[in-house]
Amino acid sequence: MTNLTSKFVRTRIAPSPTGNLHIGTVRTALYNLLFARKHGGHFYFRLEDTDMERSKEEFTQEIIDGFRFLGIEWDRPDFKDFADAVFEDGIVRQSTRNSAHRAYIEQLISSNRAYKCYTTPDEMEKLRESQRAKKLPEGYDNRGRNYSEDQLKDFQSENRSFVIRLNLGPERDIKWSDLVRGEMSINTRDLGGDPVIMKANGQVLYNFAVVADDADMGITHVFRGEDHLTNTAKQITIYEAFGFPVPQFGHLPLIFTKDRQKLSKRKHGDIAGVEKYIREGYLPSALNNYLVATSYSCPSGQEIFDLAHGASFFDMACVSKSPAVYDIDKLNWYNREYMSKIPYPELLSELKKYTKFDLNKFSTADLHELIEAIRGNLNKFIDIDENIDYFYTLPELGAELLSLIGEAKVLLTELTARIKSGDYDFSSAEQMKSQINKLGEDLNLKGKKLFMPIRAVLSARQHGPDLGLIMKLLGKDTVLARLADFG
């Protein structure tokens, strides 16, 4: 790779608004962004919305909102003769490029690099049936290259509809040096015959529109999922048909689940979509960091980095060829790391957006103490309620906790008596803890046998903030009431 100057490097992300924003799309965007920023180049956002039946405005808005939430910033294109395709948000909308696409189609037809194919759907099905019967690969047999003048006249007199196909020419190997996978080669015989580049209704197809737009935008590097390998071979033939410079390609490993299935919304629900992570309160920086790291190993071993810092050392040579594996535990680890560094006022502000409880029941100082105590237990902001619910209403105790409590009658009875005597000071968490330790000494109890039964009675769980803090925040009356239920 040479001449990586700011005028040379141009990357893009080009999602189709036909579904929810997938975390794989985000990861692809991040790699394109990091590569462009590393080399002082430009990163563009093109919306591939030519499929009018499946493209939805709500998906368009979700994609835009998702990128903005994640802090993925794209450059505004400033291309000659491209103004009508660029909107106020700096996004190129492919659907506005119909006239340019059709002009390119005519150019290919006039140079005999494309042709009108009049093969009907019934004829195509009979062809496939014959290929299946002979156990041959299914695909178009390129018959349209050799229509006679009489055949063309007959088709036209019948008012047959037609599609436009690219003429791939003689069988050959299409080769490129992939920036992730190394040397690649796909033979044209494996492409299913001359590909359709425009439907009968005049709509150009994906592979053709991508080439036309990437060429006009001057895209120099295309990074996308490895499921596009065959598309890349087809697109290279289109670049060559026009004589356009062919960009450098890099095909990224897909994201799989731990049982080796490709991560998809249909199969795996909302874990595949970005909206879930926004809704549940993951930090943009943490999600970005995690997605980059799914297939990228920093040469220094550094795991935590933001986009600005990541761009300073990003190297496509460090992107793995192996499939990425979706790991929610690793994502939660990243999010905890980032949450641990949030200043308390900012953390509290975010948590208030996610809780159903009234945090004003606590004094300012007590709330600060509580939030800092549970901060390390939060994987995401929405976890706040399950960590503080027992300060409002005691959850139902399970059989294990009831058994634990049942074995500690003497401890709980003595604790109740001492609190009622007025000996316990509820104004200090440290003082409360000291008083519980003294109770343990007197009863010859320590560790789990001392703390677990009390914690279970007061919070209906075996883990959480320091017991002294729980008792302080609950207050004397609530502590006595909960002890009474098990006395």
Q: 186 near 233, Cβ under 8 Å?
A: yes
Residue in 209, 201, 109 with CA at minimum distance from that of residue 162: 201
Say yes or no to pLDDT of 391 above 90.
yes
Q: Which CATH architecture has domain 399-484?
A: Orthogonal Bundle (1.10)
How far is it between the farthest Cα atoms of the chain? Answer: 110
Q: Other C-beta atoms within 10 Å of 359: how many?
A: 15
Q: Average pLDDT for residues 211-222, to the nearest whole number?
A: 95
- Per residue in 257-309, pLDDT (tens digit) is 998 999 988 888 899 999 999 999 999 999 999 999 999 988 888 899 999 99
- Per residue in 22-52, pLDDT (tens digit) is 999 999 999 999 999 999 999 999 999 888 7
Return the bridge partners of 198, or none: 164, 204
Residue in 155, 166, 225 with CA at minimum distance from that of residue 197: 166
Looking up tokens 């029941």 gives 361
Q: 347 near 375, Cβ under 8 Å?
A: yes
Comparison of pLDDT for 225 and 7, the residue scoring more: 225
% of the chain exceeding 90 in pLDDT: 84
Helix axes 98-110, 229-242, angle to 10 degrees: 70
Q: Average pLDDT for residues 392-404, to the nearest whole number?
A: 90
* pLDDT score for 34: 97
On the question of a common fold for 100-198 and 265-339, the answer reads no
Encoded tokens for 289: 């960091």
Q: Average pLDDT for residues 386-393, to the nearest whole number?
A: 96
Q: 171 near 189, Cβ under 8 Å?
A: yes
Q: Other C-beta atoms within 10 Å of 296: how many?
A: 20
Q: What is the Cα–Cα distance from 87 to 89, expressed in whole angstroms?
A: 5
User: Regarding the domain with residue range 10-93+207-253, which homologous superfamily does it belong to in the CATH classification?
Assistant: HUPs (3.40.50.620)
Q: What is the Cα–Cα distance from 261 to 467, expressed in whole angstroms?
A: 44
What radius of gyration, in Å, describes the C-alpha atoms of the chain? 32
* pLDDT score for 80: 63
- Per residue in 406-438, pLDDT (tens digit) is 889 999 999 999 999 988 889 999 999 999 999
Looking up tokens 């957006």 gives 353
For residue 204, what is the DSSP state? B
* pLDDT score for 199: 95
- Per residue in 449-461, pLDDT (tens digit) is 999 999 999 999 9
First to last CA, the chain: 76
Return the bridge partners of 38, or none: none
* pLDDT score for 82: 66
* pLDDT score for 54: 84
* pLDDT score for 3: 41
- Per residue in 339-353, pLDDT (tens digit) is 999 999 999 999 999
Say yes or no to pLDDT of 312 above 60.
yes
CATH fold, domain 100-198, is Glutamyl-tRNA Synthetase; domain 3 (3.90.800)
Residue in 211, 113, 207, 104 with CA at minimum distance from that of residue 169: 113
Task: Say which residues have a Cβ less than 8 Å from residue 59's Cβ, sequence separation at least 6.
Answer: 17, 18, 19, 20, 21
Say yes or no to pLDDT of 5 above 50.
no
Q: Which CATH architecture has domain 265-339?
A: Orthogonal Bundle (1.10)
Encoded tokens for 116: 């009108």
Domain boundaries along the sequence of the chain: 10-93+207-253, 100-198, 265-339, 344-389, 399-484
Using pLDDT thresholds of 50, 70 and 90, give the confidence band for residue 81: low
**Cα torsion 419, 424, 428, 432: sign:** negative
**The residue count for the chain:** 487
Task: Say which residues have a Cβ less than 8 Å from residue 236's Cβ, sequence separation at least 6.
Answer: 174, 176, 246
- Per residue in 125-176, pLDDT (tens digit) is 999 999 999 999 999 999 999 999 999 999 999 999 999 999 999 999 999 9
Q: How much is the mean pLDDT over the chain?
A: 93
> What string of DSSP letters covers 320-341?
-SSPEE--HHHHHHHHHHHHTT
Q: What is the Cα–Cα distance from 460 to 398, expressed in whole angstroms?
A: 8
Using pLDDT thresholds of 50, 70 and 90, give the confidence band for residue 177: very high
Q: Average pLDDT for residues 197-213, to the nearest whole number?
A: 95
Which H or E element spans position 349? helix 344-354
* pLDDT score for 2: 36
Q: CA separation (Å) from 60 to 17, 29, 267?
A: 5, 15, 22
* Helix/strand/coil for 70: coil
Say yes or no to pLDDT of 6 above 50.
no
Say yes or no to pLDDT of 67 above 80.
yes
* Helix/strand/coil for 314: coil
Residue in 63, 53, 101 with CA at minimum distance from that of residue 205: 101
